[in-house]
Structure 1
């Protein structure tokens, strides 16, 4: 065996030249150019307003004069000297915990009905999704107000069935349920996500269950719900957050008053009234941060509970 080294092995290795800083910056200018609008928008419309609202929450600020530092007075006022705040919190909790489960349940029902091989299923999916696209608009809120009016189609249908007409705008409980019905009607986005989850469940599971003699309910409880549980978790979190931020329907249907008797005074509506009607922007900022904390706590609770009811295939079945 020859012990001579080749010419390449004897030649000194050339050091790898690193590009100069200026050339690297010049090379990345294109990337900086494309991400620039997002960074500017994120700083201008998200980060800076968040920091400003945190500061304003500790001040007395009316939008016209300089903020006056008052410490924790705004937060103390919420829970000790503002019964309307506590009432709006109560109304919002009823709206969220009454509407979100019904909305998810109805969305899952429709998704299971659409999970068929029908030729017109694409048209049905589009039709059912439309309310979610336009459901938060002013026009739909006005339409909803007319539907539930004293001479609206709902009362006409009730009287046609022999029941008494309901004064939806004269009863606080009925007015709140009118908003809940509107939120249930906007089930399209959740329905599409459920439908995608149902499509991902292998049909062999249902075939094997049929061979074992399982009925529809047993298949639903033992197969559909466990396999769909991650999707249920995602929808529950997203719809809960969206429900807490509901504003347009309550504002339009109640004409900005939150009536009757504050029956539709949702949290976001009261926050808006404090900030832009009463000009208590410091108090409104404090309310916004309390809402953030409440949503964060509820989201954490849902995530913590998921370990007991959410099934992941990668974990071998829990």
Structure 2
């Protein structure tokens, strides 16, 4: 089992974290300039902008920090470990089983309203989310097989790997070493992961997904397990939208379990119970005693 220890860093966790933040700011500024030059006026430009965003804002800060701060960059980020097939299968099962239950949470979070005194802030937040959703829908607007493949590669695979490398591969590891508590590091990273997306009315479900991905990284010691789960989650959204775009499906998977009918409530309840059971099996049976709860 991969163990997080101070000895894996050339410099202290605090200094490594500060270095990571500095690289992130610099890479974000540089990436923003380049993305601004590329533009996002059409689907092709938006795809390139998304790729550049993943490279500059998420991958480059990790690479630069790891090369300087980590004794073994691949080991520290978990890139050098591959999860067992049983872990992969059960992780994919959790992602699929959780869809109806997560749909209910998504709908609940989206329906929240701020106090009347904060109505102006709510309008700004909702407008920002609508703009972000508009960009995502533009990326998923194609109807050809090539559009589907590109969306899966960019929004599913690349974004899944890039964000997991940033949040679970580096940020969570540094917080774990600094705080010496895996649970605090996982949930703190999950909160930051959700906050970075700047979508208040989708904050809770994204935070829960972030925590799930964080525990996968901790339990397995591998970056690839949360990256695969992240990529699958994103890809399922892409595939669902493509099926709707092409008329191959009239059912929006995002509404399953969340329509409020007795059947949907039963589906959501079964989904929740099955997800909890699968998570228990994954943590206790697949990984079991191989987990390391504290830093020695």
| TM more than 0.5 | no
Larger RCO: Structure 1 or Structure 2 (Cα < 8 Å, ≥ 6 residues apart)?
2
User: Bigger radius of gyration, 1 or 2?
Assistant: 1
From the two aligned structures, give the one with the greater helix fraction: 2
Q: TM-score, normalised by structure 1?
A: 0.31
Give the alignment's TM-score, normalised by structure 2.
0.32
